Chains A and B, each alone.
Chain A
């Protein structure tokens, strides 16, 4: 095969890289890679492939969504034109100021307007955005970033190190930002010169690039314009933020939508392709579908498309549906401070926990909940059964063996036996329980209740609360069972640090600490492992610890893990959404064209 042909044939290049990926000494923990391979402005495909080969995860093409995106080939189209988008499941886009953004559907928009030092790609690997390159010093506690030169904000101001400092100072103040906590581990940010900044961390943080600095999901360090904030005020900045991203906001009427226009001075002259993007929030599923079918909108972003609509879209020859694994996990939480789930100490080994009735009931529910049936009935087949917090979209960190080996895997006989051993043979004498959920989740919670009734003969009643009330119950640990989950998990820390540690921000934050020393789960071994992986620079070792945490929390039934969502992109066939932009959970439109 000639080198010329190799250059022309991406498939041949890929085959060669796949072959090379296994070319290392299995005993070598770095898999033949150097620290230089791990630095720079991104991890190369070769590095990613080799790490995956070393970890034994390079077996399924779907693990590399950016390279092997399944489904139809995406053709590129001409530049220009207006793309009309509908943003699902929301009546408005309440703010686009990254300091206030608290929903995935909002940072999907802001990611097209504002930049960060880094931005994840389709493989969920951090690449330089406004950072051209970076070096890591002092065992991972110091990062020096070289910033991109010649970048301007939409208002014409130049982007310099001062803007990084301004963003940091603004975000670390809880008076200005709801994400100040994300910067807890950052001790200082210094300006080295006009285009170089140094971050000093309290301790090494494996998720620093993908969680703290990432432009969309991180939000604490999404770069904002000091000049614009000072001139227009924060309320207006929340509507029409000024950034350095590929599109600028030219119009935003709350509840009616946003108009984005091409930013001519974007640092990459090849992007964006579109002249204009309109985004209309559409709360209801049926009008959203009708708007797409009528041609009022050409692409759906925002909250996940209602699964009951997807088959209808698939059957429409004018509509393209692209499904990939999405970030996040959804769970049913069981209160360990209430009968019949009482487990006041999760630190014991599973064999010891198995002697306690409370644990037996928890495990019986986890094993008796037929996730395949739930997904078929409640999610119309469009979800992936979950047994832990780490989702398949994370590829490298996802433990493929967990669904087969988790203590929570479906086994009806064992579940019934556990329930009988706990004193409830065939569900007799089992108390009637309430499963708290929001109104939108009532249908799927009814499916859960039906499955548990049929399989274990126990009665679970959906208790619908609106979101603020549900949260109050969750944070005070005032529930029997509660249905809530996590949305935009791009780094394992989003799952394990945010949910599985004793000090996790969601772990019974407002509980009565005298009566309940922890919230829904606490295990010192898990705490130690999570702390260890958080500070780990070696991603393979980190992955191994993450797998251990995922297994422990699954086997000890920290929650009944239910499903990982699928990320379903729906658009008209005239819209060319390239695979490179297919980042799970995001809708980056800078490379999108219309034919």
Chain B
């Protein structure tokens, strides 16, 4: 197991290194000068040159890359070249809890809806319940996140005045302020994921329910509940957990549209702003963190397999 873990960790580091290198050089190929955009209003070429020197962007790209690699290895992500030149690590550290909160709550809601819905649809296949779940799943998949988000704002904030329309409040300021600001974005993000998961659970469960060992269990006179919860569901979860792991990783950086609508500055929004402003250090740092989240989420999923299915072992 330890050997497997070491191998996976080395692989993870290699993937992150390749991603970081690709992002570094691709950002430099993308047209658009960050300082020209920033200094358009002032029109001062001298100021642009000074900033270029200050951020080391007057150096050849390979030198910039080596310096950045060296600093990153020492835990230094550099400074944002836009606005007030904040440390990139600070910007990421501020955005991460917001994204974790949003992704966590969305994921929780998605699982809360998807698991029972998927089980009901599978165990009552081709009944009204199955059709209802299927229809709602397709509706959930078909509605764009930003549209759901705006509808939720109009209905629950502007019309009913039940929940705040925008913003984020950290958990440290109380559960209700945190929850009331996050529930609408979490529903907007979680709707699509719950639909995907419900469909996955349904099809996976149907496959499992057809197996010989399920037939045997049924013939032994086990209750439907015991059959579903102890025999079918754990075996059906392997592909579902894979999707869940990828979904969670996607949520960490992919909720940008909803973050934008609800004015929550999470990792996704940070990344998009960095790209739009050609803020190289910010993009490089954020991508590195996002790729780490992806790689380690996948690793976690692989480790979870051993808990869900004891037949899976990584020690050989």
Contact = CB atoms under 8 A, between A and B. Distances in A.
B265 A255 contact: yes
Interface stretch (B26-34, B56-64, B228-236, B290-298): B26-34
Most buried by A among B83, B94, B265, B273: B83
A457 interface: no
Given A174-B44, A287-B150, A468 B87 contact: no
Interface stretch (A231-239, A415-423, A549-557): A231-239
A74 interface: no
Interface of A: 86, 91-92, 94-97, 100, 102-103, 174-175, 177-182, 234-239, 253-257, 280-284, 286-291, 293-296, 466-469, 471-472, 475, 498, 505-506, 509-510
A102 B84 contact: no
B46 interface: yes
Interface string B134-175: 000000000000000110011001100100111110000000
Contacts of A236: 84
8 contacts: A181-B44, A257-B167, A294-B158, A295-B161, A467-B32, A468-B31, A472-B33, A505-B44
A436 B267 CA distance: 30
A286 B150 CA distance: 7
A318 to B, nearest CB: 12
A106 B34 CA distance: 19
A472 B32 contact: yes
A290 B158 contact: yes
A102 B39 contact: yes
B273 A235 contact: no
Contacts of B132: none
A469 B32 contact: yes
A238 B150 contact: no
Contacts of B262: 287
Residue among A103, A472, A498 with the highest chain B CB neighbour number at 10 A: A472
A255 B44 contact: no
Nearest to B168: A256
Contacts of B82: 94
Contacts of B32: 466-469, 471-472
B241 to A, nearest CB: 33
A475 B85 CA distance: 25
Contacts of A287: 149-150, 153, 165-166, 261-263
B42 A181 contact: yes
Interface string B286-306: 000000000000000000000
Contact of A471 (B37, B87, B164, B264): B37
Contact of A102 (B42, B166, B260): B42
A509 to B, nearest CB: 7
A95 B36 contact: no
A510 B49 CA distance: 14
Contacts of B176: none
Given A255-B269, A287-B165, A468-B32, A179 B42 contact: yes
A281 to B, nearest CB: 6
Contacts of B270: 255
A234 B85 contact: yes
A296 B156 CA distance: 12
A235 B43 CA distance: 22
A280 B276 contact: no
B50 A284 contact: no
A498 B40 CA distance: 11
A86 B157 CA distance: 15
B278 interface: yes
Contacts of B54: 175
A178 B45 CA distance: 9
Interface in B246-279: 260-265, 269-270, 273, 276-278
B84 A235 contact: yes
Contacts of A288: 166
Contacts of B85: 100, 234-235, 238
A86 B265 CA distance: 15
Given A91-B273, A296-B167, A180 B47 contact: yes
A280 B264 CA distance: 10
Given A286-B150, A296-B167, A505-B43, A256 B84 contact: no
A280 B44 contact: no
B41 A102 contact: yes
Nearest to A220: B42
Contacts of A469: 31-32
Interface in B110-140: none
A65 B175 CA distance: 48
B100 interface: no
B112 to A, nearest CB: 26
B38 interface: yes
A466 B32 CA distance: 9
A471 B83 CA distance: 18
A177 B85 CA distance: 13
A198 B279 CA distance: 40
Contact of B36 (A255, A280, A472): A472
A467 B35 CA distance: 12
Highest count of chain B CB atoms <10 Å: which of A175, A177, A282, A284: A284
B71 interface: no
A472 B265 CA distance: 28
Given A256-B265, A282-B166, 15 more contacts: A91-B265, A92-B265, A92-B273, A174-B49, A179-B42, A181-B43, A181-B44, A181-B47, A234-B85, A291-B165, A296-B165, A467-B276, A471-B37, A498-B43, A505-B42
A282 B168 CA distance: 12
Contact of A280 (B38, B47, B263): B263
Interface string B67-97: 0000000000001001111110001001100
A467 B86 CA distance: 22
B42 A294 contact: no
B153 A471 contact: no
Nearest to B37: A468
B24 to A, nearest CB: 18
A27 B150 CA distance: 63
Nearest to B277: A468
